[in-house]
Chain A
Amino acid sequence: DQQVKQNSPSLSVQEGRISILNCDYTNSMFDYFLWYKKYPAEGPTFLISISSIKDKNEDGRFTVFLNKSAKHLSLHIVPSQPGDSAVYFCAATPGNEKLTFGTGTRLTIIP
């Protein structure tokens, strides 16, 4: 069951540059999408979300883009900072209680 996919297990980005993390989904019933950040030995921390009625949502350095026709979303972090190094999970829900997570992308920011 791979309803939410993050095809890049890891990504390295120079400090100050843009980090782009990608996520694809297959379930057309999903109508809300979230990005979580996770450090080792901690639980996922909510970053930003987007409803299917929008195509962009911005919060400070973080912007999420949604392309419904392609069933694709991306998280942009600009500028990238060393503290952004973590595992990033994309999650989706059809508006009920259950979040379906992707496998995560490990982001490493190189100073």
Chain B
Amino acid sequence: EPEVTQTPSHQVTQMGQEVILRCVPISNHLYFYWYRQILGQKVEFLVSFYNNEISEKSEIFDDQFSVERPDGSNFTLKIRSTKLEDSAMYFCASKIRDQPTNEQFFGPGTRLTVL
């Protein structure tokens, strides 16, 4: 069964460093998303991406964040200068197209720890 994959599973970085989180969405999906979950809190929407551009972003997704689909398979989230409060699980998700169920398929997540 096709699945969303994410690398790395765990990333440790120093405050102020840049990190790139990588995702490979399901191959025939057209809509891509990043969410995050700070420990003990709910899953929060960061950004959605369609047709090579951002379609929606949350207040969390400030200038320190960017997304890119550099080739036909990868979808990346870059944090330019990490802060302690960026420590969280980051989930990538994808969706095939507009469909009645609005189901988004999630990857296993990358745990980002900022020291």
Within 8 A of B (CB), among A54-111: 89, 91, 93, 95-104
B75 at the interface (CB under 8 A from A): no
Chain A interface residue count, CB cutoff 8 Å, equals: 24
Task: Give the interface size bracket for B toward A.
Answer: 20 to 34
Query: B91 and A44: CB pair below 8 A?
Result: yes
Contact check, A102 vs B42: say whether CB atoms are below 8 A apart: yes
Q: Is A99 in contact with B109, judged by CB distance below 8 angstroms? A: no
Docked Cα-Cα span, A89 to B58, in Å, equals 20
Q: Which B residues are closer than 8 A to A by beta carbons?
A: 4, 6, 31, 33, 35, 41-45, 48, 50, 55-56, 58, 91, 93, 95, 100-109
20 A-B interface contacts by CB (under 8 A): A41-B108, A41-B109, A43-B4, A43-B91, A43-B93, A43-B106, A43-B109, A44-B106, A45-B106, A46-B103, A49-B101, A49-B103, A97-B31, A97-B33, A97-B55, A97-B95, A99-B102, A101-B35, A101-B44, A104-B42
